[in-house]
Structure 1
Amino acid sequence: MRIGIPALYAPFPYRRQPVYRALEEACTDWLASLNPPLDDEQRKLLASCNSSAASRVFCSDIPTELLQPFHDWAVVATFFDKVILGTPPVSRDIAKMAEIVDTVMTAMESPLGKPAGEDFFITAWKSLADRIRLHAAPSVMTRWLEGHRQFFLGHLHQQALALAGRQCDLDTYACLRRKTFWAPVVPPAMEMSRGDDLSDAYLNHPELQAMSQAAQLLWAWDNDIFSYGRDFPGCLGGPEIREGQEVNLVEIIRTTYRCDLPEAFERAVRLRNQIMVLFTRLSEEFTPHDDAVRTHIGDLGRSVSGNIAFHHAHDTDWYCCAGHTSSTRPQITLGSSITDISPPEAGDPLPWRSIGWWWELVPSVPAGRNAD
């Protein structure tokens, strides 16, 4: 089944990282030095996720030496998510999952010593944190670590819903999903990659907080759209939710409105376009004097377009846009992939408690109305 969906509104242009190959080679050497105990299937998984390719389209003008730790982080984080958190028995045992992430956080937050034992992932997390700590300001390092904690808590919440066979409502999911997909880690990583510390700006400007949270939600919801065909291989049946089933924006819409898949995808794109319009309006109306803040806003905007390109890349086999062979699994196609023309209906605010305050920061936006 092939489903064509409307173009995703993403007006911030991006370009590919010109030194991507150098980043990839250095990452390969670093991983080899840790001697990861990977079997053949795990190596195939690492290749199919292609997480290192995210550096091709995220923060493409950042010097190699500053971007390298975060390129390596993307590989470890994605692989840890898939191999440890997303694989039985851990994926079906919330208590065990919580124990593992607590061990990870303890290792990362400790500025001294070596992690106990010889676990590859704990060693990798500790090594990454130590490398980044050498260059990061203490306040932004604290926010970067806090971003991991938000992700892990969000992941535990989302996995608990999946194990219970429950989908949450859209309002709750807007709050939950922006904490997953590793999204809270990325904004402080962008700052550190440029040698900046915008902690005071984030504290004093709710507009910047809103834009950062909106970008995080866009990364995650776009991931939902592209990964739906993998997460729901049997999704062409009835509207019931199965135990262990992924929590996904498209599926929440399909079960909430009892609509077919094409309509669910159209509604999902409409929602994410409303978030993108909000981000764009805030970026136009918020005019900070600090050059670093303006650059950071541009990085957030460009990362949305880059994230779409990453999911749509021909060598990122993990996502359904790469083409699945199963006739019962939807293959997602985009008419023009990305458009810089704002959809006329996408300017309306969303009335949800979790994110409705974003629109209150834009004077030209009217009061919220139904998401329908």
Structure 2
Amino acid sequence: MGPELTVPPIFSPIPPAIHPSHAAIDAQTTAWAQAIGIGSDELRGRLVQHDIGSFAARVLPDGRESVVGILSDFVLWLFGVDDGYCEEGELGSRPGELNAALQRLLRVAQNPDVPMLLDDPLAGGLRDLRRRMSEHGTDGQAALWVNALREYFSSVVWEAEHRRSGTVPGLNDYTLMRLYDGATTVVLPLLEMGHGYVLDQDERAGDLVRAAAETASFVITWDNDLFSHHKESRGTGFYLNVVRVLEHEYGLSPAQALDLAISQRDRVMNLFLRLRKHLMPAAGPHLRQYLHNLGTYIRGAQDWGISSVRYTTPDDPAGLPTAFRDSPVDDSDKPLDIPVISWWWDLLPARTAPVDGLPADVASAGARRGTRPGRKDSSVVG
């Protein structure tokens, strides 16, 4: 059993928002999971209690309801893989066998008509998701999603190798793989589908936009590690978490590692805001919408992370915050000493004055200190 840690309120300058149909979306995902048969009865019974529909509804608060529903079902499917295959299943410590199983699923994602795994509920769920995505997006967006799914699968196989050997990776490797094993990148194509546009391929692949997406992924996954630490450390099996990685990397106590993780995510949160501010003036409507939804993705994950029973664990209450702070504990512009991401800071000139002139959803956040999840905000993109 791991140490008891209390996570303090963290910096969250982006106001909360949620799709008005969040309750119906959550109910639909419960029905979908039952109909498909995701996971064991016990695992599925837990997952449908996690309010995953509200998470999707926070990520796309103004998106098309049908796509928010796809996102909700997909997130539950991901937990079916992560919990059922990787963390709790026998394959979780057999990287070779896990890789083979995931590659078979990937083939279904690439072509839902392939005649294989016809009696496998996870494959059936993936087949259904892929077909629905084709109805709401383009072939190019589906290909982006499949490629992101491949990255996610390869990263959880990497994690399985550490689980098998009981080793803790270095911070640089962990940071790189956390960009993918947190399954953040597989959500990004759905941000576009949710509003019915296709982001220009060259624009999406540009360093600045890619850095904005990666900084958002960093904040989301570091926050998830903070919020999930209690649940993971109370278990009996091996777990990987930034708190544990930082303890191992620098010889820190758990409390010191927690403080350092918060400092790191605050510094990257500030960089995300600066990147978004830099991109907005010249951005077209599609990129503006995309950048806006990177923000709602960050805040949606935060609100869900401190409120879902997946992390609050009522039977053994986690020390999670119930609100957020409106200022960072670390507002430095200096790059983090993590080589795989230090290039993010090279894209912008050093800041000589406080961030101002932010998009409306950020500029209006100053009066929202201590806001709690669930409040609908009226701000619009830029």
TM-score normalized by the length of structure 1 = 0.86
Residue type matched to 2:336 in 1? L
CA contact (8 A) 1:85 1:91 kept: yes
Residue 201 of structure 1, CA deviation: 4.3
Match of 2:303 among 295, 302, 309: 309
Aligned ranges for residues 1-372 of structure 1 at < 5 Å? 3-34=5-36, 38-39=40-41, 41-203=42-204, 205-233=206-234, 245-287=238-280, 288-313=282-307, 316-319=308-311, 321-325=312-316, 331-334=318-321, 337-365=323-351
Supply the AA of the counterpart residue of 1:106: R
Instruction: Call closer, same or farther: CA 1:208–1:6 in 2, change over 3 Å.
Output: same
1:36-59 Cα distance to aligned partner (Å, 9 max, x none): 5743x2233223444333123211
SS at match of 2:6: strand
**How far off is 1:234 after superposition?**
7.6
- Aligned residue number for residue 371 of structure 2: none
> Residue 282 of structure 1: CA displacement?
0.7
Q: What is the letter of the counterpart of residue 325 of structure 1? A: D
Helix, strand or coil at the partner of 1:354:
coil
Distance 1:351 1:255 in 2: 16
Amino acid at match of 2:319: I
Distance (Å, rounded) in 2 between the aligned partners of 1:204 and 1:96: 33
Percent same amino acid among aligned pairs? 19
Report the CA distance shift for 1:96/1:202 in structure 2 as closer, same or farther (over 3 A): farther
CA contact (8 A) 2:39 2:122 kept: no
- Which 10-residue stretch deviates more, 166-175 or 122-131? 166-175
Which letter does structure 1 place at the counterpart of 2:80? F
Per the TM alignment, residue 90 of structure 1 is displaced from its structure 2 partner at its CA by 1.2
Report if the CA contact (8 A) 2:18-2:57 is conserved.
Answer: yes
- Would you say the 8 A contact 2:266–2:331 is kept in 1? no
Q: Which amino acid aligns with 2:179?
A: R
Instruction: Name the residue aligned to 1:370.
Output: none
Structure 2: stretches of 5+ with no match in the other structure:
353-382
**Alpha-carbon offset, residue 247 of structure 1:** 1.5
> Using the alignment, how far apart are the partners of 1:358 and 1:324 within structure 2?
41
Letter in 2 for 1:64: E
SS of 1:134 mapped into structure 2? helix
Separation of aligned partners in 2, 1:293 and 1:285:
12
Contact kept, 8 Å, 2:108 with 2:114, in 1: the verdict is no
For the residue of structure 2 that corresponds to 1:226, the secondary structure is: helix
SS of 2:219's equivalent in the other structure is: helix
Deviations 1:13-61 (A, max 9, x none): 121221012212333443444355743x223322344433312321111
Distance (Å, rounded) in 2 between the aligned partners of 1:2 and 1:34: 37
SS in 1 for 2:320: strand
Q: Using the alignment, how far apart are the partners of 1:175 and 1:33 within structure 2?
A: 36
Structure 1 stretches lacking a partner, 5+ long: 236-243, 367-372
Give the superposition deviation at 1:154.
Answer: 0.9
1:250 partner letter: V
User: Counterpart of 2:170 in structure 1: which amino acid?
Assistant: D
